């Protein structure tokens, strides 16, 4: 038990390394992820400049973070599909299209949250 507790910092460092590696890959290979990060930076700048209460700013950030989350999962599914079936297959296309639709739904959710926060 005590040995497990001692290993927690090492596990956190390893997990952080894997996360950093994944983020580097996303920035290098996924243009849509880079665009979404630019939008996030712009939203952060606008939120910092607005006189909104903190809860609205956090709600906006939380809603928008669903977009890069969905994009990351979409990217993972696409990479996995390409590994399993490198040549064209209608089933693989179907999976990729559905994952892309999930990104669109996340964008809609973020846009609706923004409108709701503006009107609130």
- Count the alpha carbons within 13 Å of 97 in the hemisphere toward its beta carbon: 6
Tokens 């926060």 belong to 117
- Considering the candidates 30, 31, 36, 71, report the single residue annotated as catalytic: 71
C-alpha to C-alpha distance for 62 and 77, rounded to whole angstroms:
23
> Catalytic residue at 71?
yes
List the catalytic residues: 71
């Amino acid at each position: 038990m005590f040995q497990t507790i001692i290993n927690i910092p090492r596990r956190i460092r390893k997990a952080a390394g894997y996360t950093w590696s994944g983020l580097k890959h996303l920035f290098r290979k996924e243009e849509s992820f880079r665009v979404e990060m630019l939008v996030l930076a712009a939203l952060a700048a606008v939120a910092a400049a607005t006189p909104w209460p903190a809860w609205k700013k956090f709600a906006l950030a939380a809603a928008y973070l669903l977009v890069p989350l969905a994009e990351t999962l979409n990217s993972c599914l696409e990479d996995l599909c390409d590994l399993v079936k490198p040549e064209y297959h209608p089933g693989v296309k179907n999976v990729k299209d559905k994952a892309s639709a999930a990104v669109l739904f996340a964008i809609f959710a973020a846009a609706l949250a923004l409108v709701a926060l503006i009107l609130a």
